[in-house]
């Protein structure tokens, strides 16, 4: 299976996959994130299909300085078969094709499974601290 770029018709299935994978949070609108990724020239959502079934996805973007990976998701019943690795390799290829020198992603500190997965792929914690704040009223 080879990941391909998602299109607008994939929105509902991709968002449902992100929700099934536990990636969504109340303060982020995943449908808006999906739409923004497709609307910009410097981002995409790559998907894996098994026939008509959407079984994996990853959002990728390049800010001109670093490549970013978001929403890497594999259908819960399809995990542990190399699909996450396939999606990461596709994300890296997408970024390399745009001249991107470095890939980054954020993982919540308590997500030991994700940290172990990315560690097996050769990603390592960086010596930085991520800072942030909400620009709109903070969600309840």
Residue 140 located in a structural domain: no
Tens digit of each residue's pLDDT (9 = 90 or more) over 72-131: 999 988 888 889 999 999 999 999 999 999 999 998 888 888 899 999 999 999 998 888
Residue 131 located in a structural domain: no
Residue 28 has pLDDT above 90, yes or no: no
Rounded mean pLDDT of 10-19?
95
Residues in contact with 83: Cβ distance below 8 Å, sequence separation at least 6, in sequence order:
1, 48, 55, 56, 74
> CB under 8 Å, gap of 24 or more: what pairs does 14-19 form?
14/45, 14/47, 14/54, 14/57, 17/54, 17/55, 17/56, 17/57, 17/73, 17/75, 18/57, 18/71, 18/73
Out of 22-31, 55-64, 85-94, which region has the weakest mean confidence (pLDDT)? Answer: 22-31
User: How much is the mean pLDDT over the chain?
Assistant: 91
Residue 138 located in a structural domain: no
Residue 93 located in a structural domain: yes
* CATH number for position 58: 3.40.630.30
pLDDT computed for residue 138 by the predictor:
62
């Amino acid at each position: 299976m080879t990941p391909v770029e998602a299109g607008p018709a994939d929105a509902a299935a991709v968002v449902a996959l992100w929700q099934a994978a536990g990636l969504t949070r109340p303060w982020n609108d995943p449908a808006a994130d999906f739409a923004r990724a497709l609307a910009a020239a410097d981002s995409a959502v790559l998907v894996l299909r098994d026939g008509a079934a959407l079984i994996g996805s990853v959002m990728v973007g390049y800010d001109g300085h670093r490549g970013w990976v978001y929403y890497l998701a594999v259908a819960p019943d399809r995990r542990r078969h190399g699909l996450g690795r396939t999606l990461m390799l596709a994300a890296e290829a997408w970024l390399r094709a745009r001249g991107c020198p470095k890939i980054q992603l954020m993982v919540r500190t308590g997500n030991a499974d994700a940290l172990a997965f990315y560690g097996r792929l050769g990603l390592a914690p960086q010596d930085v601290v991520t800072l942030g704040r909400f620009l709109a009223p903070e969600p309840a």
